[in-house]
């Protein structure tokens, strides 16, 4: 038996050589954009699920482009790595795709069996580093970050952004405050934040007996300080700047503090970073080099309040204040788009905070407030329709993509009118389907990348159907 490994070694080299010479040819689903389904969320099609119509080079309803999912993107991860909940996706100037995921905290014990104490498997699996960079072929380039690896890591990550210098920004979105009664908390937070702040054993509550082997693993460890910051890292993961202080949430009028920021956007020309300061119901702008406060505003351009807009009522007026602010994105023509997620609303501003317009998307969406597992008080909150926003790759950024994690689609909107012209996807775990799609980004060639939280834990790539119609050799 001792010689067996030798045999495999020799044979492996053969396999590798052959594999190296043969490009992977992938087959791909067509995922044509579906016609819009009206504003009311529950009205969406009950008919055939719709990701199969091949519409190569064609456009879907209302001028929306069609897409094909690449089911074999990214390439297989090394080192028995698996992704946790993918909370942020961004594309840098080189068209590299950056993700941040929630690692061990978001994995159930069966997904991270190798880091349990004792391990229950020696071959599956280990959480991948929290920040990962892929090239457009899906190869892992950089990987770093995560709790217990020399980083002061967030309780729960939000969005990721890459600035013009290639530096990587990560938001510490945090854990939702324990809900009062069974209602929503004062501010809705992250749908995958399923652990009370006091006990860090997120993901798989019954595994409390299993202590983490390293970093934050399966079980309660020392509580991380409450998330109240964003951090700017070098492309290799060296911390450059932090705005806000972990454990010291700021108030809506704070010039130094944040409260569960969900994401950020960088205005390279102005050296400014715009922060979706979710817990403070505001957009806050800082100098992206020094961290000095510049300005902030609340919903509709008003002064933000701690109370925000209160519980969402689909039959009432949405209110002027933000509920939660889960994204901020800046278009090339200098407009600031804000996700007011549990208000089912996009608001658009000038860079100075002057309100321009708003649009409510799928207004009947309430999202789920539920407990999962057996741990008391463990909250899983998926609320609202507007989770993240990306712009199309054309010069005018004619289209807007909205990740709708409650309705499991990426909506395609005209940017000028904010009217919906189609959508991609539907609910499900198969390639091209979504389960709690939380993040969306577009590269210079119009490829669309999505990140999913909850139990999906994927980054997916969708190519424009026209481009995908070319022979799919290589790994695109």
Chain positions 416 to 435 lying near other proteins, rule: CB under 8 A, are 426-433, 435
Nearer to other proteins, 325 or 380 (CB): 380
Judged by CB under 8 A, the chain residues 237 through 276 that form the site for other proteins are none
> Cα–chain-centroid distance for residue 460?
11
Nearer to other proteins, 13 or 350 (CB): 13
Other C-beta atoms closer than 10 Å to the C-beta of 37 total 18
CB of 108 to other proteins, least distance (A): 6
CB of 143 to other proteins, least distance (A): 16
CB of 273 to other proteins, least distance (A): 31
Is 222 among the residues that bind other proteins (CB under 8 A)? no
Is 451 among the residues that bind other proteins (CB under 8 A)? no
Number of residues that bind other proteins (CB under 8 A): 89
Is 180 among the residues that bind other proteins (CB under 8 A)? no
Is 56 among the residues that bind other proteins (CB under 8 A)? no
Is 47 among the residues that bind other proteins (CB under 8 A)? yes
The pair of three-digit structure tokens given for residue 352, joined into one six-digit string: 């100075």
3 state DSSP class of 388: strand
What distances in angstroms separate CA 401 from CA 4, 62, 245, 343, one per listed residue? 53, 14, 32, 17
Other C-beta atoms closer than 10 Å to the C-beta of 143 total 19
The binder of other proteins chosen from 33, 37, 64, 218 (CB under 8 A): 37
The one segment of 158-166, 225-233, 251-259, 406-414 that binds other proteins by CB under 8 A: 406-414
Is 221 among the residues that bind other proteins (CB under 8 A)? no
The binder of other proteins chosen from 58, 59, 61, 124 (CB under 8 A): 124
Is 122 among the residues that bind other proteins (CB under 8 A)? yes
CB 65 within 8 A of CB 105: no
Is 395 among the residues that bind other proteins (CB under 8 A)? no
Is 440 among the residues that bind other proteins (CB under 8 A)? no
**φ and ψ at 366, to 5 degrees?**
-110, -30
CB 337 within 8 A of CB 346: yes
Report the candidate in 189, 382, 172, 181 with the shortest Cα–Cα distance to residue 279.
Answer: 189
Binding mask 60-99 for other proteins (x = CB under 8 A): -----------xx---xx--x-xx----------------
Is 15 among the residues that bind other proteins (CB under 8 A)? yes
Residue the block writes with tokens 């499991």? 408
CA distance 196 to 201: 9
The one segment of 123-131, 216-224, 259-267, 273-281 that binds other proteins by CB under 8 A: 123-131
Report the candidate in 255, 254, 278, 274 with the shortest Cα–Cα distance to residue 264.
Answer: 274
Report the candidate in 379, 347, 359 with the shortest Cα–Cα distance to residue 187.
Answer: 379
3 state DSSP class of 38: coil
CB 439 within 8 A of CB 403: yes
Judged by CB under 8 A, the chain residues 314 through 353 that form the site for other proteins are none
């Amino acid at each position: 038996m001792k010689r067996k490994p030798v045999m495999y070694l020799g044979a492996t080299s053969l396999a590798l050589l052959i594999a190296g010479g043969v490009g992977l040819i992938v087959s791909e689903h067509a995922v044509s954009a579906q016609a819009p389904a009206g504003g009311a969320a529950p009205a969406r099609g009950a008919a055939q699920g719709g990701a199969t119509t091949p519409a190569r080079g064609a456009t879907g309803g209302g001028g929306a482009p069609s897409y094909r999912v690449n089911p074999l993107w990214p390439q297989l991860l090394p080192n028995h790595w698996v992704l946790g909940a993918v909370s942020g996706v961004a594309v840098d100037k080189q068209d590299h795709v950056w993700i941040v995921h929630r690692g061990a905290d978001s994995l159930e014990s069966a997904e991270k069996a190798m880091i349990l104490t004792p391990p229950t498997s020696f071959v599956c699996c280990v959480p991948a580093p929290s920040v990962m960079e892929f090239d457009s072929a899906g190869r892992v380039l950089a990987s770093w970050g995560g709790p217990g690896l020399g980083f002061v890591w967030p309780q729960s990550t939000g969005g990721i952004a890459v600035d013009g210098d290639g530096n990587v920004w990560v938001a510490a979105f945090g854990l939702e405050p324990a809900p009062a009664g069974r209602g929503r908390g004062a501010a809705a937070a992250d749908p995958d934040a399923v652990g009370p702040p006091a006990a860090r054993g997120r993901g798989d509550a019954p595994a409390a007996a299993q202590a983490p082997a390293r970093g934050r693993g399966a079980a309660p460890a020392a509580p991380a300080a409450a998330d109240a910051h964003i951090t700017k890292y070098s492309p290799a993961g060296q911390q450059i700047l932090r705005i806000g202080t972990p454990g010291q949430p700021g108030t809506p009028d704070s010039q130094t503090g944040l409260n569960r920021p969900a994401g950020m956007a960088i205005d390279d020309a102005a050296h400014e970073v715009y922060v979706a300061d979710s817990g403070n119901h505001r957009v806050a702008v800082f100098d992206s080099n020094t961290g000095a406060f510049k300005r902030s505003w609340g919903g509709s351009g008003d002064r933000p309040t701690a109370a925000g807009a209160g519980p969402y009522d689909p039959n009432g007026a949405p209110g002027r204040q933000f509920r939660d602010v889960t994204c901020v994105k800046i278009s090339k023509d200098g407009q600031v788009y804000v996700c007011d997620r549990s208000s089912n609303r996009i608001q658009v501003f000038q860079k100075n905070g002057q309100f321009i317009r708003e649009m409510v998307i799928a207004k009947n969406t309430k999202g789920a407030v539920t407990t999962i597992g057996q741990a008391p008080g463990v909250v899983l909150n998926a609320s609202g329709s507007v989770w993240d926003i990306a712009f199309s790759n054309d010069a005018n950024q004619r289209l807007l993509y909205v990740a709708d994690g409650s309705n499991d689609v990426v909506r395609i909107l005209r940017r000028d009118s904010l009217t919906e012209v189609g959508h991609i996807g539907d609910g499900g775990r198969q390639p091209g389907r979504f389960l709690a799609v939380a993040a969306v980004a577009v590269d210079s060639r119009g490829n669309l990348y999505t990140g999913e939280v909850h139990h999906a834990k994927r980054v997916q790539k969708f190519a424009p159907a026209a481009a995908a119609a070319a022979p799919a050799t290589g790994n695109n």
